[in-house]
Amino acid sequence: MKILFTSSTGGHLEQLKVLVNELNVGKETDRYVLIEKSPFENKFLNVKDVFYFVQQDRKDKFFIFKFIKNIFTAFNVLRKVKPDFLLSTGAGATLPVIVLAKLFGTKVIYIESLAKINNLTITGKISSKFANRFYVQWNELSHKIPNTVYKGRLY
The CATH number of residue 16's host domain is: 3.40.50.2000
Would you say 74 and 92 are in contact if contact means Cβ atoms under 8 Å apart? no
Paired strand residues for 36: 53
pTM of the model: 0.93
- Expressed as residue numbers, the domain containing 106 is 2-150
pLDDT digits (tens, 9 = 90+) for 64-120: 999 999 999 999 999 999 999 999 999 889 999 999 999 999 999 999 998 888 889
- Average pLDDT of every residue of the chain: 91
Nearest residue to 35 via CA among 91, 83, 80: 91
Q: Is residue 155 part of a domain?
A: no
SS3 content of the chain, % helix, strand, coil (to 5): 35, 20, 45
Q: Is residue 37 part of a domain?
A: yes
* Residue 146 in this model has a pLDDT that exceeds 90: no
Q: Is residue 110 part of a domain?
A: yes
Q: How many domains are contained in the chain?
A: 1
Q: Helix or strand or coil: residue 87?
A: strand
